[in-house]
Amino acid sequence: MRPRNAFTLIELLVVIAIIALLVSILVPAIMKAKQLAKTTNCMCNMRNMEVAHWMYMTAGDGSLIRGGLAHGGAHADEGTAWINTLQPYYGDRLMAKCPSDTSPHWPGGTPVPPSAGQYRRCSYGINDYTDIELSPHCDDPGGNPFKRIENYKVPSATVHFVEMAYNGEYAGADHPHAYLWVGNILSKAAGMLQINAHDGAAKTWEAKANYGFLDGHAETRTFQSVFRSQEDNNFDPAIAR
């Protein structure tokens, strides 16, 4: 009689179980690695933009870039918008889209509400406190004291680039309004920024996103680590530490 070479049912079930176990282990690890790669690429975008920003400031009088793409479909000031003024110093096409960005409002998709024709131009925005006209410090006695980079006491602790919300009226803007984050802070901040762009649940203190800082570095930070209240945050250069 010839020897039997076929698997028994028990052997087949054991092999299937082992394969299923390996898949259950590998798939989450692969997904986490892909997410980490996207986060790292986004951080690289921010670092490159910060390098370009330092070139921009060095070529000028130390003044910082400004926001010009208003929210809600308002008319854009193309001559002021940083995605245009920073481009000559970037050395290549400005990497304005984060690889994790799933916004439906890019050109070819749907317009940003409530506008009829405004689309997303960039994944990133600048901290409004660093804009010489958007900053609440414009109302300080004597005017805004943070007009040039030398006026910032702790650039390494002052947020500069942020990740704009994927949906809502701020999806087409190039800056948020952090001075409005009072009361329901998480809800208001998440309406302007994608605070969970790289990890965590939406509208939570533990949500993670990338943030660029005025000294040129970028980090993945929880929202709570950059903004606790109007009296304790890394957006207002007067109190950033």
Burial class (CB in 10 A: 0-12, 13-18, 19+), 224: middle
Tell me how many domains the chain contains: 1
Candidates 198, 206, 223; CA nearest to 98 is 198
What angle is formed at CA 62 by the lines to CA 77 and CA 232, rounded to 5 degrees? 80
238 occurs within a structural domain:
no
Question: Domain range holding 163?
Answer: 9-233
Per-residue pLDDT of the chain (241 residues; tens, 9 = 90+): 555 566 677 877 888 888 888 887 877 767 777 878 999 999 999 999 999 999 999 998 999 999 999 887 777 899 999 999 999 998 777 778 999 999 999 999 999 988 778 999 999 999 999 999 999 999 998 899 999 999 999 999 999 999 999 999 999 999 999 999 999 999 999 999 999 999 999 999 999 999 999 999 999 999 999 999 999 999 999 999 9
pTM: 0.86
> Tokens standing for 133?
């006209």
Three-class secondary structure of residue 217 per DSSP: coil
4 occurs within a structural domain:
no
94 occurs within a structural domain:
yes
Helix H, strand E, coil C: the string for 143-169 is CCCCCEHHHCCCHHHCECEEEECCCCH
Pure H helices in 60-75: none
32 occurs within a structural domain:
yes
104 occurs within a structural domain:
yes
Residue count of the chain = 241
